[in-house]
A and B are shown apart, each in its own frame.
Chain A
Amino acid sequence: MSWEIREGLKYTRTHEWVCFEGELVTVGITDYAQDMLKDVVYVELPEVGQEAQAGESLAVVESVKAVSDLYAPVDGEVLEVNELLLDQPELLNEDPYGEAWVVKIKIAPGYKNPGLLEKDGYAALVKEEAAK
């Protein structure tokens, strides 16, 4: 089996993708994450203006069977949430790297890039987890 892992993005060990644009990051769940969940039926989004703490739950993604957290990849403040997902949670299955981005976070001043994975590192992690 293979899952799309995009060039130019960073990844967390908890299967979020992170796109850096200056002081701003856009966060979503990876293709592997959506395939493991299957059938996303509900997304609980944070409030705009809410504080984000790296490694802490920021949103909740629910499939028919499972409830799973989306963890903030950086410290900062929630700038925007993707309200499209409230009515169309299935977008997370259909277009996880595109239309189904989840939150945009303004990185806290002075916050240093934590141990996010590059494409190859994340590919290795997925390979390892899929083999379990």
Chain B
Amino acid sequence: MVELQRTPLYQKHLALKGDLVEYGGWLMPVQYEGIITEVRQTRRKAGLFDTSHMGEFLVEGPGAAEFLQEILTNDLSNLDDGRVIYSPACYPHGGTVDDLLIYFYHAEKYLLVVNAANTAKDYAWFSEKLRPGVSLSDLSAEMALIAIQGPNSLAALLALTRAPLEQLPYYHFIPEVELAGIKCLVSRTGYTGEDGFEIFCDPDSAVQLWDELQEVGQVRALGLTPAGLGARDVLRLEASLPLYGHELSEEITPLEAGLSRFVSFKKGAFTGREALLQQREEGLTRQLAGLILLDRGVLREGYPVFDGETKIGEVSSGTYSPTLNQSIGMAFILPGKTVPGTRVEVVIRGKTHRAQIVKTPFYRREKR
């Protein structure tokens, strides 16, 4: 068996009595106190997440912009310095290599943040596409990543820095910020549907940064709670954010996953363009939709969705939502059956349960 990787915060998770599980080749905390508490605390106050398992690549050089335009589906031209942008990357057949964040330093320097389980695959795929004038380097081992998410995140960070983070717009970053004297890259991004930040730092500083954040959370009564991957998964599903391996995969295109706004046909050639154009013209055969369970139970990945006797789809992710106090899920459904309000049935362990297609996201934060 392959040895599972540990993040720089591994000892911290043990000390916090986190339940550790395998995830994408990493040993990660799935929960500490409990998923429901961690989800509620993140929505009401703030949650602290170790996301150091994510992969980071640096793309540099005069050909970097052109290279990224080719391997990504979103349009990276006309970005302001310090902008963060989301994009899928596709294979020529339109299936998805990964979905990632791109940090735009300037036209010749970009940081890519990729899914942990896809890091090696992405590196190999991107390397194949490299051209003269572009360098690609894997910085994953040199970067720890901590996410702080929830309404009190800003207050926690402002207590540790003089940087004007309150002025940092959503989906922007500052390459060098000192937090409690630790040099970090800070972006106003996240995977929870809340205001929040993602903080990259040297692995050797990760424990100190985590401790400083926990301490400031305590001293200022910010309700900052360590939260595991279980809470992260519920939070992202409530916010209807896709998770690779569920809503996206080598067999699923971004169009099927409802991500057409991140696919730019106007920008010119990119890998997968022809296949995606063809799919758009021929029409989708399945489409991602939000689902709530009307009967008691919990939606889970793989459950079949029916319209009467006809199978019309399958659940890609499901959970119990503490925020909505009911079971929610995403499902790939036959087009035409995805209109919000449509009644469907989900078969769970041989029994039919009533469900309904709903508008997504399930949860949207109130703008303050």
**Which residues on A are within 8 Å of B, measured CB to CB?**
38-39, 41-42, 44, 60, 62-65, 67, 86
Contact = CB atoms under 8 A, between A and B. Distances in A.
B43 to A, nearest CB: 14
Interface string B308-328: 000000000001101000010
Interface string B27-62: 000110011100000000000000000000000000
A96 B190 CA distance: 37
A42 B298 contact: yes
Given A42-B327, A65-B30, 9 more contacts: A38-B31, A39-B35, A41-B36, A41-B320, A62-B298, A64-B36, A64-B319, A65-B35, A86-B296
B283 interface: no
Contacts of B36: 39, 41, 64
Interface residues of B, number: 17
Interface of B: 30-31, 34-36, 230, 233-234, 296-298, 300, 319-320, 322, 327, 349
A102 to B, nearest CB: 15
A65 B297 contact: no
A65 B296 contact: no
Contacts, number: 37
Contacts of A60: 349
Please provide the 6 A-B residue pairs with the shortest distance between their CB atoms, ordered closest to farther: A41-B320, A64-B35, A38-B34, A39-B36, A39-B34, A62-B298
Nearest to B231: A64
A64 B320 contact: yes
Contacts of B297: 42, 44, 62
Nearest to A67: B300
Nearest to B35: A64
A39 B320 CA distance: 10
B187 to A, nearest CB: 28
Contacts of B327: 42
B209 to A, nearest CB: 27
- Most chain B CB within 10 A, of A41, A42, A63, is at A41
B300 A65 contact: no
Contacts of B322: 64
A39 B34 CA distance: 6
B230 A65 contact: yes
B299 to A, nearest CB: 11
A86 B296 CA distance: 8
B31 A65 contact: yes
A80 to B, nearest CB: 19
A39 B190 CA distance: 25
A63 B298 CA distance: 9
Contacts of A64: 35-36, 230, 234, 319-320, 322
A39 B234 CA distance: 13
B31 A42 contact: no
Contacts of A41: 36, 298, 320
A58 to B, nearest CB: 13
Nearest to B348: A44
B320 A38 contact: no
